[in-house]
């Protein structure tokens, strides 16, 4: 899909919204769709894409870390990204989440939200959650308090003292606890959890915000085989309700969870297909073995 088509879609959506509101506004239909922060539930996926990157490039001191990268992700899809070190996988996530601004290219969330117009915290609010490699749970708080804290925007205030969840939030917390297999550990201090459990707790903290799209960078690094298997089950249970973009080196994990695998190399897509297809691709074999 071309950016023109995206613009067209955005205009149609904007017009439809203005029509609902009783006619065109002075600022025009398109502005209505672009001028405010859309709510997470409003992501327009009628074109079959939750995330869309086209010809994105970024250089650091003249080195092209991302080079004409194009990628699109369907709603509910679990997409795996593999590629050698330095391929640009983390930088790609930095661009999607607004941490790094590309020099050129298009980055859309759904077909109407131009992510390049939003700041990093706004992008999180729009419904894009990101898990970094290292778990960043609050070790001196309980599992429960960590999840409760994830609901709040002002994280400086100790949760249980000033914050009361509504019943929908409490239901969500119970559901998330079950999803991340920590129901039995709800009162434990996060600092006493295993490495794998801390990773799950952090994923749970993201899930408390009900993100539309989850970006996970090397989620099973450092996990035991059993923890890795449980994480695969967890991700499979999340797909459909959320879209997931998973960067991982562990091929047995990729094999367990993947539909489509995208191979990144030198900042752009080298190959894409099932894991078997990309592993049989000569160019992929060369970048993994031939250097």
Taken in order 90, 91, 95, 98, is the CA torsion positive or negative?
Answer: positive
Position 65 contacts ligand ADP (CB under 6 A): yes
Stretch 88-117 residues interacting with Mg ion (CB under 5 A): 89-90
Residue 65 binding result from ligand ADP, Mg ion, none, given CB thresholds of 5 to 8 Å by partner type: ligand ADP
State residue 95 phi and psi, 5-degree precision.
-70, -45
SS3 85: coil
CB atoms near residue 42 (< 10 Å): 16
Contact between 241 and 175 (Cβ < 8 Å): no
Residue 263 binds which one of Mg ion, ligand ADP, none, with CB within 5 to 8 A depending on kind? none
Residues 64-93, one symbol each (x = binds Mg ion by CB under 5 A, - = not), give -------------------------xx---
Nearer to ligand ADP, 180 or 265 (CB): 265
8-state DSSP, 185: G
Report the half-sphere exposure of 204 (CA within 13 A, side-chain side): 29
CA distance 264 to 268: 5
In angstroms, what is the minimal distance from the CB of 89 to Mg ion?
5
Q: Tell me the longest C-alpha to C-alpha distance in the chain.
A: 63
Task: State phi, psi for 215 to the nearest 5 degrees.
Answer: -110, 125
* Nearer residue to ligand ADP within complex by CB, 6 or 51: 51
If the CB atoms of residues 173 and 284 are measured against Mg ion, the closer one turns out to be 284
Return the range that interacts with ligand ADP (CB under 6 A); candidates 2-10, 81-89, 104-112, 174-182.
81-89
Which of 35, 60, 136, 283 is in the footprint of ligand ADP by CB under 6 A? 60
| Residues contributing to the site for ligand ADP (CB under 6 A) | 60, 65, 83, 85-91
């Amino acid at each position: 899909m071309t950016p023109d088509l995206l613009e067209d879609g955005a205009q149609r959506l904007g017009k439809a919204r203005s029509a609902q509101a009783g006619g065109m506004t002075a600022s025009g239909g398109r502005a209505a769709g672009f001028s405010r922060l859309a709510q997470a539930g409003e992501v327009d996926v009628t074109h079959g894409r939750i995330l869309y990157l086209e010809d994105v490039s970024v250089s650091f001191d003249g080195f092209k870390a991302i080079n004409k990268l194009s990628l699109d992700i369907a709603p509910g899809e679990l997409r795996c990204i593999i590629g050698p070190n330095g391929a640009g996988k983390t930088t790609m996530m930095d661009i999607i989440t607004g941490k790094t601004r590309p020099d050129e290219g298009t980055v859309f969330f759904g077909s109407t939200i131009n992510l390049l117009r939003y700041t990093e915290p706004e992008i999180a609010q729009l419904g894009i959650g990101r898990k970094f490699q290292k778990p960043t749970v609050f070790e001196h708080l309980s599992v429960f308090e960590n999840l409760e804290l994830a609901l709040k925007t002002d994280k400086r205030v100790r949760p249980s003292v000033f914050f009361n969840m509504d019943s929908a939030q409490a239901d969500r917390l119970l559901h998330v606890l079950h999803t991340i297999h920590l129901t039995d550990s709800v009162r434990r201090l996060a600092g006493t959890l295993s490495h794998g459990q801390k990773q799950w707790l952090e994923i749970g903290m993201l899930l408390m915000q009900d993100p539309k799209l989850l970006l996970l960078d090397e989620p099973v690094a450092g996990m035991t085989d059993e923890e890795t298997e449980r994480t695969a089950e967890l991700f499979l249970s999340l797909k459909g309700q959320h879209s997931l973009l998973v960067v991982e080196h562990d091929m047995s994990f990729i094999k367990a969870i993947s539909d489509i695998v995208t191979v990144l190399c030198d900042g752009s897509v080298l190959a894409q297909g099932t894991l078997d297809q990309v592993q049989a691709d000569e160019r992929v074999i060369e970048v993994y073995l031939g250097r």
